[in-house]
């Protein structure tokens, strides 16, 4: 297989996986918005997991949620676009280093695009995955957030495996 074919295949795989992440993210958000009232919560696993429809105007853990709305929107859209540009450049370097790196960048890109769609469309992100144990409550999140975390985890794992393989 030629280098151009390998590059093309890894790029197609990245686009395919990222697209699946965006579709899963947007579909789950649409289902929540369509079937829940804002702030409505439904117990899935008592004492551990609810589906709760929330809108997050901030970043992770509602960071900057109280900032000026106009500034906040431009800031988060700019950060998402910057992250996507960074992923594009980093992907060009890492794609030849293994399939796990391709998956890592695909998940991060898909998650970034999923949340970017929400921010552009509504100025906030739909969150609905609500985990807790007793009074300890994790901030609600969504499929896009999960994909970003999984992508970072894949990147860390691939980096560790690469280091162990070369070291």
Rounded Cα–Cα distance for residues 94 and 99 (Å)? 9
Nearest to 128 by CA among 7, 46, 27, 47: 27
The set of residues, in sequence order, having a beta carbon less than 8 Å from that of 66 and lying 6+ positions away, is 58
HSE-CB at 67 with a 13 A cutoff on CA atoms is: 17
3-state secondary structure of 76: helix
Q: What share of the chain is helix, strand, coil (3-state, %, to 5)?
A: 70, 15, 15
The two most distant CA atoms of the chain are separated, in Å, by: 56
What residues are labeled active site? Answer: 127, 145
Radius of gyration of the chain (CA): 18
Token pair 């695009």: residue: 113
């Amino acid at each position: 297989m030629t280098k151009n074919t390998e590059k093309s295949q890894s790029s197609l795989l990245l686009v395919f996986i990222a697209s699946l992440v965006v579709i899963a993210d947007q579909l789950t958000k649409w289902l929540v918005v369509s079937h829940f009232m804002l702030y409505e919560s439904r117990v899935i696993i008592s004492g551990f997991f609810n589906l709760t429809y929330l809108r997050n105007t901030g970043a992770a853990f509602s960071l900057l949620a109280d900032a000026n709305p106009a500034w906040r929107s431009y800031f988060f859209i700019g950060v998402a676009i910057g992250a996507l540009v960074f992923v594009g450049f980093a992907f060009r370097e890492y794609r030849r280093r293994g399939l796990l790196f391709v998956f890592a960048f695909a998940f991060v890109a898909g998650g970034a695009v999923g949340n970017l769609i929400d921010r552009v469309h509504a100025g906030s992100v739909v969150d609905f995955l609500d985990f807790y144990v007793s009074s300890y409550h994790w901030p609600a999140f969504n499929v896009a957030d999960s994909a970003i975390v999984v992508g970072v985890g894949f990147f860390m794992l691939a980096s560790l495996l690469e280091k162990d393989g070369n070291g």
